[in-house]
């Protein structure tokens, strides 16, 4: 069975600090997809990134960066120079490659950026 664990339930930092959100996953599939979503207070899910399991290159998008390490089954998300607008709940998720491609989500990490 697939499982995603986000051990950090809540994180609170001061604006401009860097923060890393951890994600560890379990799957028996040899190929799979990994995701990060942002959920602002409005509740709607905002897609941030999708990573295919055979692409282990780290990715940077502005202040956001993702570190995928297949050897440790981790897909961590770092926000550099955090801003108040980054405050949200962040979800890591895992999807099968074939079939209905159902998403398995972690419990989420509530990130609060204090001014």
Partner 1 sequence: SQTIHQWPATLVQPVGSPLSLECTVEGTSNPNLYWYRQAAGRGLQLLFYSVGIGQISSEVPQNLSASRPQDRQFILSSKKLLLSDSGFYLCAWSVDSGSYNEQFFGPGTRLTVL
CB closer to partner 1 out of 76 and 106: 106
SS3 84: helix
Work out whether 2 is an interface residue with partner 1 (CB under 8 A). no
Point out which span in 16-24, 54-62, 66-74, 90-98 binds partner 1 (CB under 8 A).
90-98
82-105: b (≥16 Cβ within 10 Å) or e? beeebbbbbbbbbbbeeeeeebbe
Residue ranges binding partner 1 (CB under 8 A): 4, 6, 33, 42-45, 47, 50, 52, 91, 95, 97, 100-108
């Amino acid at each position: 069975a697939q499982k995603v664990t986000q051990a950090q339930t809540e994180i609170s930092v001061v604006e401009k600090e860097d923060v890393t959100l951890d994600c560890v996953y379990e799957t028996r599939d040899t190929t799979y997809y990994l995701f990060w979503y942002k959920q602002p207070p409005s509740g709607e899910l905002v897609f941030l990134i999708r990573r295919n399991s055979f692409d282990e290159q780290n990715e940077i998008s502005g202040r956001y960066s993702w570190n995928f390490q297949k050897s440790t089954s981790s897909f961590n998300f770092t926000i550099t120079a955090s801003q108040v607008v980054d405050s949200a709940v962040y979800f890591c998720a895992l999807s099968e490659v074939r079939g209905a491609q159902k998403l398995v989500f972690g419990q989420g990490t509530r990130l609060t950026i204090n001014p």
